[in-house]
Structure 1
């Protein structure tokens, strides 16, 4: 194994084509590409608007089982499948999210794929890229500054400073900033109050950018952000303090999707990046809908396991954007089946067919859940060299009992050549007309019932518990006209339950709702369960300790 190259070594050796050539493959004229160097560009709003009457291609969602420390390779499979579709002669585009600096320097790593199924330039994608996240951070914190400034200069809107709902954000994991007191130091600095920071990917501005259809829709949604409440408990919106125009200006370029390429020079849109455990976990609507106009097949992903990413993709993104997915791929690994079957990480390289069979319950739950949305499913077994034929057969046999097929994929090691079988199966499913997509719950269902529906139908929970204050808050929002909004569950990604250590396919557990937040601009209610944090912390040994510039000035340690 000594000759196996690292992801960054493979990415660095890529033979990239000029980004104008990649745009040309999609029919995007050079004047409608705003290049950031030679290998990435933004697509103009004018070009996107001109495509609205074109026929849509087929939409394929890539999701996964609950992630384990062994790694499932969902983004790697998304990229590999895009390359595989192009390899078999289909015009396909990959749509994925941008990477957050917090997890990049923390524990999760980057978001560009891996092995020979990557999007490049990998270093740029995992760091500052085209500056979208910085623009979102700036727009969010501009609203924070304008809010405090409004109160300082007389508080014309009569905002109750005890009921300010808008925090600040930064794109880094920093537990010290979760709860802070601001405006200390005397009269000149304003009114001291308790507040805090969330990570940028949890910002409502991020969600808004990822759900907005165009700049006009973006400005409308930004204006609808609730920043706080008056003493009579009536909401104060961002438009009330005249913040929406300036925020839109900051986000003007960030709204344009980023075009890059895979290692095999196929087009990829990389745009937006809300987390799936604390936000809605999908790339931007504008990138996906644009790709659907330019390709016959669009492969996109939803973050973490299907209990989070796929549910939110279906119930929030597809509902809001009018999208109808044609097929879904659930990524699993033999190693993860063994972990779910009780095998410790250090023992994963030993064959254990019984543990694989036992651990398949987690995969089975996800397959059944996705089918509840009416979308046909195929399982992608992301191959590891330690997998044995008997273990692979055990997964395939189990999936067959669910009325689905599991296909072994070697894209990490072989690129598109290793995923041809999956690409052909996806085309078969997407072209079959079998998809009868519908969201899990209707718009007019009461908010708490929506929470219960997700908890019971997707998590297989026995009950949802919430304090009277939470239930009362949901009723107030319903009275204010927000009852038709979908709910966005903030939950651990590691389990169907709210206990990250409860593996497999637990049933009958309790889902405690700790807090609810109204994202009126994005158009959903965030439901915070268990111990989930909207500002993550760094681990004891963060990935940043392994990231450095080598003697040639090249970045090492990114993954």
Structure 2
């Protein structure tokens, strides 16, 4: 296997010479006048240009997902970038669509999300920090609505909104556990009516979900207007449009709605747009970016957050359902390191060859393959190879996957860029070319909300049942009776296990999924179901990445990657 000098991700990125963003746009037949430049190496594409593409045929849509993540890391974004480069390397017209990173993980524990090694999107520092300001616009729109709610109550409250039944929360794009539950408007009459409130992280905001699912500005305003903000004393719903918040919120998001164009290290085009988490939200980049890419390229590689039980399920059952997308294939990313952890090996011992542990950990991979097949998509396993992996361990995965009837292909994109994924790229082409999509969702719109939750828990998580106290069951029934029963469900749970217990590795079965909370995301048009101990506002770890981040004497960020 070819290896390179042990440079860090940021050193590799800084050594690259980016092409002017207009040149990247021209590869997609986007004229310079339709490009809104953000410096030399990133830009937004005007919505007016996107409207001219609607009659063009669509390319093939391929999803990159992964086995259940572990602290060892799986490299899903790295594989997405590497596969996009690999497709271009074999002469195909391909581009990638991925999510924008959140500042929370960057300064917390997970780190950035621009790929790694020689399979990255650049400029990675900008992408992982403020980028083009989309996240800030989403936070501002969310918090404008919060401010307008409190102002509406302060002055006249013509809707009769009950301060005890306000459901809207503020957001910030940072991990801050101290803001999960707060009391607002303290300090006297001039500051309003004191009430309990709280913050979520921006990727969990319903505004983010509306932003990512909207097809255009008109649809975005419709979705923002129908956001549920609370209830009156007689339980009548009050929406954002009732307090005239949909217009100004849309104004804040007008520029953000334009997809962001950047490039890979190999100068291939990439859209990076929108960024909901998959453990607490629906985990997919914007519909507008994906649909635009399908008009511009023959193959579009996109990804969904965390493992296939979260990201892929939500990509299929929420994004594809709502946007009318029909993906052709799914690439399931696995690493020897993660398989060993699912096989019971401690993180400190992952560098030692252990074929029996790999074989045991493959139960997790097999379950994900079985789940993907329930959606009717063709699948391939990408083995994201690390330097410590041995040939015997790789061969074990290949042979076991053959027994499953799925091809497992070694990929060395981290070390070799697109050249390390040409075999994977060619197999993906062979899977999808000349065939129609046989995609299907896991459940139909017309079954009840409770049954939808139960279906995902049993069919995807392997649970025996779902449980909730009477208050939660009554809320779900109320939403069903109020006409929201046709909505899909978005389940928030830990990403580290099929169950709601992050310590249960491998393939736990017959476990129970406890529902702690439900929220009607009426603008996003799904029911958010919060399970187990998952938090919609994460906290920083004992030793956050922020402790090591600084700016050196040359003005370069250090410690971020």
Shared fold (TM-score, shorter chain, > 0.5)? yes
Q: 1:171 aligns with which of 163, 166, 173?
A: 173
Q: CA contact under 8 A between 2:122 and 2:265: conserved in structure 1? A: yes
- Distance in 1 of aligned mates of 2:52 and 2:436: 31
- Distance in 1 of aligned mates of 2:164 and 2:105: 32
Equivalent residue, structure 2, for 1:208: 210
Equivalent residue, structure 2, for 1:75: 77
Equivalent residue, structure 1, for 2:488: 486
Equivalent residue, structure 1, for 2:222: 220
- Where in structure 1 are there 5+ consecutive unaligned residues? none
Equivalent residue, structure 1, for 2:351: 349
1:102-501 alignment runs, 5 A limit: 102-433=104-435, 435-501=437-503
Q: CA contact under 8 A between 1:375 and 1:434: conserved in structure 2? A: no
- Distance in 2 of aligned mates of 1:329 and 1:556: 33
Equivalent residue, structure 2, for 1:532: 534
What's the offset of the Cα at 1:434?
6.2
What's the offset of the Cα at 1:2?
10
Q: Secondary structure at the match of 1:408?
A: strand
Q: Secondary structure at the match of 2:463?
A: coil
Q: CA contact under 8 A between 2:411 and 2:420: conserved in structure 1? A: yes
- Distance in 2 of aligned mates of 1:240 and 1:551: 52
Q: 2:93 aligns with which of 91, 94, 112?
A: 91
- Distance in 2 of aligned mates of 1:366 and 1:341: 15
Per-residue CA deviation, residues 466-499 of structure 1 (Å, 9 max, x unaligned), is 1111111111111211100000000000000000
Residue 21 of structure 1 pairs with residue 23 of structure 2: yes
Q: CA contact under 8 A between 2:4 and 2:415: conserved in structure 1? A: no
Q: Secondary structure at the match of 2:361?
A: helix
Deviates most, 128-137 or 474-483 = 474-483
Q: Secondary structure at the match of 1:308?
A: helix
Q: 2:551 aligns with which of 544, 549, 552?
A: 549
Equivalent residue, structure 2, for 1:63: 65
- Distance in 1 of aligned mates of 2:147 and 2:222: 20
- Distance in 2 of aligned mates of 1:546 and 1:430: 44
Q: CA contact under 8 A between 1:376 and 1:434: conserved in structure 2? A: no
- Distance in 2 of aligned mates of 1:468 and 1:81: 47
Q: Secondary structure at the match of 1:130?
A: coil
What's the offset of the Cα at 1:435?
3.6
Q: Secondary structure at the match of 2:404?
A: coil
1:32-43 alignment runs, 5 A limit: 32-43=34-45
Compared CA separation, residues 2 and 300, structure 1 to 2 (3 A): closer
Compared CA separation, residues 427 and 2, structure 1 to 2 (3 A): closer
What's the offset of the Cα at 1:3?
3.8
Per-residue CA deviation, residues 217-274 of structure 1 (Å, 9 max, x unaligned), is 0000000000000111011000000000000000000111000000000000000000
Equivalent residue, structure 2, for 1:30: 32
Q: CA RMSD in A?
A: 0.9
- Distance in 2 of aligned mates of 1:241 and 1:169: 19
- Distance in 2 of aligned mates of 1:133 and 1:232: 36
TM-score normalised by the chain length of structure 2: 0.99
Q: Secondary structure at the match of 1:401?
A: helix
- Distance in 1 of aligned mates of 2:5 and 2:122: 22
Q: CA contact under 8 A between 2:279 and 2:306: conserved in structure 1? A: yes
Q: Secondary structure at the match of 1:419?
A: helix
- Distance in 1 of aligned mates of 2:350 and 2:22: 45
What's the offset of the Cα at 1:80?
0.3
Per-residue CA deviation, residues 137-182 of structure 1 (Å, 9 max, x unaligned), is 0000000000000000011100011000001000000000000000
- Distance in 2 of aligned mates of 1:138 and 1:398: 49
What's the offset of the Cα at 1:100?
0.3
Q: CA contact under 8 A between 2:214 and 2:288: conserved in structure 1? A: yes
TM-score normalised by the chain length of structure 1: 0.99
- Where in structure 2 are there 5+ consecutive unaligned residues? none
Q: CA contact under 8 A between 2:137 and 2:252: conserved in structure 1? A: yes
Per-residue CA deviation, residues 195-224 of structure 1 (Å, 9 max, x unaligned), is 000000000000000000000000000000
- Distance in 1 of aligned mates of 2:25 and 2:441: 34
What's the offset of the Cα at 1:432?
4.6
Q: 1:10 aligns with which of 9, 12, 21?
A: 12
